[in-house]
Amino acid sequence: MTKADLADTIFEKVGLSKKESMDILETLFDSMKAILSEGESIKIAGFGTFLVRKKKARKGRNPKTGAELQITPRKVITFKPSIQFKTAADKGL
C-alpha cells in the first residue's frame, strides 16, 4: 500500500477531497518525522509504539573481502505493535 492508496482510503471513508486527504497524510508523516528526529517515541493506542533506539559503535566485517571495519554509532527507529494490533493481524492470516 502506498501513500496515495492511504489518501484514497481517507477520501472514500471520510469524504474529504483527494488533495485534503493527501495534505492530512503529509502533515501526519511530517509530524512523526519531527518527533522521532528529536529522539522521542510515538505511542498510538490500539496500534503500537515507534521508538528511537541508540546503537553503539561495534566491529563489523565486509562480507566480500573479509576485512574488519568499525561501524559507527547510530540511531534506528523500531516499531512495537500493540496487543490489539497483533491480535487483529493474527485473525487476518
* 22 and 4 inside one domain: yes
* 57 and 91 inside one domain: yes
Q: What angle do CA 75, 47, 89 make, to 5 degrees?
A: 110
Cβ neighbors of 46 (< 8 A, separation 6 or more) are 82, 84, 85
* 29 and 51 inside one domain: no
Rg (alpha carbons) of the chain, rounded to whole number: 19
pLDDT by residue (tens digit) across 36-62? 999 999 999 999 999 999 999 999 999
Closest CA relative to residue 49, chosen from 77, 16, 9: 77
* 48 and 90 inside one domain: yes
Beta partners for 14?
A: none
Asked if residues 31 and 42 have their Cβ atoms less than 8 Å apart, the reply is no
* 20 and 47 inside one domain: no
Give me the number of domains the chain comprises. 2
**Full residue range of the structural domain in which residue 12 is found:** 1-38
- Whether pTM > 0.85 for this model: the answer is no
* 60 and 91 inside one domain: yes
Return per-residue pLDDT of the chain as tens, 93 residues.
999 999 999 999 998 899 999 999 999 999 999 999 999 999 999 999 999 999 999 999 999 999 999 999 999 999 999 999 999 988 876
* 51 and 90 inside one domain: yes
